[in-house]
Amino acid sequence: MSVAELAAAVEARYPDVVVARGEATVVIDRNELLDALAWLRDERGVQLDALSSVTATHWPDRDPAFWVVYELRSTALVQRLRVKVPVREDDQHVPSVTEMFPTANWHERETFDLYGIEFDGHPDLTRILLPAGWEGHPLRKDEPLGGVPTWFKGATMPPIDERGMA
């Protein structure tokens, strides 16, 4: 199966499909996410049965400000599809997909930790990379760069947001 054939199969049910640089992407509304992922997994000729990644992007000056991104793979058809879900700044929630794809457990926790996206229904939505008391979400583009002073061959390198321009 080619990328174009996969895109055509998906487009028959979900029309917002784009093929660019040899990759297919479909945009799904979050209210349709669980049904769409079940269909993409179970539909003969699509069979995207493996979730390899969940992440997000943040565009603070745009609406929607966030995009939650799911990378699906078909082990039978040796194909992949990106699923993007728009999420508004004022309502950062999407349903958890851990019941359908157990691998989403840690991916959703990482996305929550680094972007602050809430995955409703997740069995243990707690920080996974940063300490429990950490404030903020470091991969958001509106977070300060921060850092700690670092010693390098006898000299100190200040955090990036404290460096002067030379």
Q: Which residue has the tokens 């457990």?
A: 105
**How far apart (Å, rounded) are the C-alpha atoms in residues 2 and 6?**
6
H helices present in 29-138, as ranges = 33-42, 104-115
Confidence of residue 152 (pLDDT cuts 50, 70, 90): low
Domain boundaries, the chain: 3-141
Q: What is the pTM of this model?
A: 0.86
Superfamily covering domain 3-141: NADH:ubiquinone oxidoreductase Nqo5 subunit (3.30.460.80)
Task: Tell me if residue 141 falls in helix, strand or coil.
Answer: coil
The whole-number average pLDDT for the span 64-82 is: 95
- For residue range 20-65, list pLDDT tens digits in order: 999 999 999 999 999 999 999 999 989 999 999 999 999 999 999 9
Q: What is the mean pLDDT of the chain?
A: 91
Distances in whole angstroms, Cα of residue 59 to Cα of each of 62, 63, 65, 91, 141 = 6, 8, 5, 14, 7
135 vs 129: CA distance, rounded Å: 13
